[in-house]
Amino acid sequence: MAYSQKNNYIQLSSIEDILLNTLMFDFPERPVRFYFTRKDRRDIALTPLSHQLFPANICEIYPDISNGEKIYTSFTREIDGFDALDIDFSDRLNFSLIKRYYNREIRLYFQRLNMVADTTFVGDTQVWIRTSPPKKNKIAGCLYYDRFTIKVNYNYGYRKPELVISYDRPAKVLPKSISKFIDEYNAQNSDPFGEMKVNPVSLINKVLAYRIIDNDVSKKRFYITRYDKLQTRYEDGEDINFSIVYPIVNNKLASYLGYDDDDSEDSPFAKNRYKTYIPKIKEFKDKHLLTDNFRRIIPVVNSFTKVDTGQVSPKSKDLIFGKKGNGEHITGFIPRRGTNDGPFAKPIFKDIKVMLIAHVDHKEIAMNLGDILKCKNGKYGYYTGLETYLGLKFTYEKGLLFNSPDPTMEIKEQLKNKQFDPNVKYIAIYLTPISKSAGDVKQKRVYYALKELLLQYDIALQCIEVEKMIEQLNKDKSKGTYNFGFTLQNMSIAINAKLGGIPWKLNVSPKHELVVGVGAFKDDKVQYIGSAFSFDNTGCFNSFEYFHKDELLELAGSIQEAIRNFKNTIEIPSRVIIHYYKDMREDEVEAIENSLYELDLGDIPIYVVTINKTESEDIIIFDEASPDMMPYSGRFVNLGNGTFLLCNNTRYENYQGKPDSYPFPVKLKIRCPNAPETLNQTVITGLIDQVYQFSRIYWKSVAQQNLPVTIKYPEMVAQIAPHFQDSNVLEGIGKDSLWFL
């Protein structure tokens, strides 16, 4: 059975076949009888329900029940002494309860087949399927699993329930049990006075285990849990057989075993993920869901859901770069081409000095880099020097050399002895010997410490990994290529932005509106971090605020106050658009979202666009008519209830070039808390357009991003700022500059 839905969007001329990764189904026509009790039973597995999950007609059996109570259900299993109640599945007030019921049935269905079926942290079911190891970077003897998440969802557009089928990152399980690990560790450390080896058990986070059902070894009930929770249960007296408990490989355990757990070329997250993702979920659907037995639980249709799409304005991708000889600005939509003719705006500083920082062993390569940036020996391929991307001349300041693994103290002493001209703006280029992927936390802290130190002197910092630089330069030399030019180009536009310049901007007419990007995060110390960035509608950056609070209410209040202050950066804005991104659990973000919805700016409409990365655990759309399966850039789908999927990529119509990458769609949720009557289709399309546009002004790279800078920049600050030792560094320095790029 096929479903169709028509939207009043511009009809598309290209041949497309757009599908959602969802399978629709129908609720039972008649009410289903569930059984409830107000008292828990230890001898029976029951599901507790808080008032949010109470049936809509709960008062038929418990007329005096209050919201503070809990009830318990066996769902459809009849138990003596329980109270029967007929549940209408089509009543939307019952959907949360029905979703809990379906999730339980789905999980038990796969568990009864002796398959691994786990509950995700949001209550969905994740099914593990044994698969072959990858061709590269595989861990010897490791068991590999493809993981699929089944999410029970309600499609507001079609007004029907559906299952969202997604493919998650593969899992690796060591066949060596916890007991075996412990025995090996004890054997290696038999001498209590000798040097103790690393205990690998301390590196284990989650484990895969199973129970034998009814003393029948052919019936295994697999489950996944955290190892520390299993230890607690054991210490509390529960009989845990650690010989059938197996570690799930994480980064730390992989590193201990001598493997890099980063994604390999065989990973579904390398290159075109669509071509791995879509065949995987199709195979899972056909083999495990389109069966008579599963359809007795949920009668899903045969095919994924076909949808119509809207599209952003074709001009939304257009950018403005530097000027031609006649004084007119160059326009285009490919930054790596447009920036070669100079920036839209030069840095705000006229006298710029570049200071190289390198280990003594890398002095020669640093000097080589300095020559390339100045084009001393001619241009490097298409790269014509840093001055092209700045739009003005620069000179070199005497560089700094260090000789220790941690250069901070050496650099600090040298900076004390330097005389800095207050009329000059300095930027340091640090040739770091430490890779971004370095596993050593102490090594990573060097970067943050050096950035903080230089900020105290009001010196911007640009890093480049020296080993990667040497490797690429050698490759270029041997092959006669100039691929290092991409790195040089990225560095140069970032340096321009750090110095207050504008590499390029959006090709739109200026409006009196304020765009604020808000990020809310949680750091390793379980503290809350927030930042808010201010832009005008052309993508030009105004300033930002950063917050590090212990309490969510304090963080929410700080973000609210920052937005009020930002209002003054644009004279009487006609509207305020807030792009909001969170990296916290749903139950932690209520205070932030409420503060955005309750924001009072007088008669100015406030539009809140919540932006999520949809990655592999969520709903996506794909194009069956395309060999690459990725929809055209700018297509979007209305999922109902103010939620949209936006395809934000570089697959353009009437453009022969290949896409730079294959990102999945971005999920948006659009609200207008203070003027909901203004949220018509034209405004919604314009807000989606703006998210699309702001993804094209990321000034750290010429590569197209699939997320707007309004949420990427807050995330970058959240990653850096908590590592600073002096929290006052951010109070007066860099508020109006993009020092963090």
Instruction: Quickly state the pLDDT bin for 327 (edges 50, 70, 90).
Output: confident
Alpha helices in 328-362 (DSSP H): 335-338
Q: What single letter denotes the amino acid at residue 244?
A: I
H/E stretch holding 331 reads: strand 329-332
Instruction: Judge contact between 531 and 728, C-beta under 8 A.
Output: no
Between the CA of residue 518 and those of 218, 580, 598, 610, what are the distances in Å? 53, 5, 15, 9
CA 224 to chain centre: 24
Note the pLDDT tens digit of each residue in 212-226: 888 887 788 888 999
- pLDDT, position 365: 96
- HSE of 397, CA atoms in CB hemisphere, 13 A: 21
At residue 261, the 3 state secondary structure works out as coil
> What percentage of the chain has pLDDT greater than the value 70?
93
Using alpha carbons only, give the angle 144, 150, 151 rounded to the nearest 5 degrees. 145
**Is the dihedral angle over the CA atoms 551, 557, 563, 566 positive or is it negative?**
negative
Written as six digits, the tokens of 100 are 């809990």
Note the pLDDT tens digit of each residue in 356-387: 999 999 999 999 999 999 999 899 999 999 99
pLDDT of 6 above 80: no
Average pLDDT of the segment spanning 318-335: 90
Total-model pTM: 0.88
- pLDDT, position 439: 53
Note the pLDDT tens digit of each residue in 154-210: 998 889 999 999 998 889 999 888 898 888 878 877 777 767 677 778 888 999 988
CA 528 to chain centre: 18
Query: φ, ψ for residue 567 (rounded to 5)?
Result: -55, -30
Average pLDDT of the segment spanning 121-131: 93
Instruction: Quickly state the pLDDT bin for 270 (edges 50, 70, 90).
Output: very low
- pLDDT, position 731: 65
The radius of gyration computed from the CA coordinates of the chain, to the nearest angstrom, equals 29
CA–CA dist 620, 613 (Å, integer): 11
Domains in the chain (CATH in brackets) are: 33-87 (no CATH), 175-248 (no CATH), 346-498 (3.40.50.2300), 508-614+665-732 (3.30.420.10)
Specify the pairing of strand 635-640 against strand 18-20: unpaired
